[in-house]
């Protein structure tokens, strides 16, 4: 599994200012609908439901919201780079500016977990995060995220 298979170039955005998690999830839902043909409402509801179980802000300015949805045949991703970091109830209490959302089929088991592990490894790489923060062009952000890296332990 590679990020290039999960992340459509159109699902990578540099976003100016997001006022709340609810607004962020609505923006993610809009992209999920436009790029992947999912219901925006169902996407928002699924992301909010998962977030209610515990925050998906993993620290160091990164959040990995994820949810399972009907209507998908594979795991897909959406990446937002926020120009202005937002509070996300992250484990380290730091604001978040890099958001990689994963949406998986309701029936997905191990593929969802493999994708989450892959994204987590990528977003834990401080060099990758520094490069992402230094760029706002969606094409460059997509290239940085999807360049093939050597295998790393989870």
Q: Is residue 17 flagged as an active site residue? A: no
Report the Cα 14 to chain-centroid distance in Å: 13
Rounded Cα distance between 80 and 121, Å, is 17
Measured CA distances, 19 to 24, 25, 58, 82 (Å): 8, 11, 19, 11
C-alpha–C-alpha distance, residues 39 and 71, integer Å: 9
Per DSSP bridges, beta strands 62-63 and 96-105 are parallel
Of 60, 66, 112, 142, the catalytic one is 66
- Concatenating the DSSP letter of every residue in 77-134 gives EEEEEEEEEE----TT---EEEEEEEEEETT--HHHHHHHHHHHHHHH-HHHHHHHHT
* Catalytic residue ranges: 66
């Amino acid at each position: 599994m590679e990020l290039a298979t999960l992340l459509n170039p159109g699902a990578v955005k540099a976003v100016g200012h997001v006022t709340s998690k609810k607004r962020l999830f609505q923006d993610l839902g809009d992209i999920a609908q436009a790029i992947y043909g999912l219901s925006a409402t169902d996407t928002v509801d699924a992301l909010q439901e998962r977030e209610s179980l515990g925050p998906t802000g993993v620290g160091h300015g990164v959040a990995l919201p994820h949810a399972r949805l009907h209507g998908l045949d594979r795991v897909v991703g959406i990446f937002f780079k926020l120009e202005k970091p937002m509070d996300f109830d992250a484990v380290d209490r730091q604001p978040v500016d890099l958001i990689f959302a994963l949406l998986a089929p309701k029936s997905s088991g191990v593929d969802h977990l493999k994708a989450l592990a892959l994204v987590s490894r990528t977003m834990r790489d401080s060099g990758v995060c520094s490069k992402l923060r230094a760029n706002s062009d969606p094409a460059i952000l997509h290239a940085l995220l999807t360049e093939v890296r050597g295998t790393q332990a989870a």
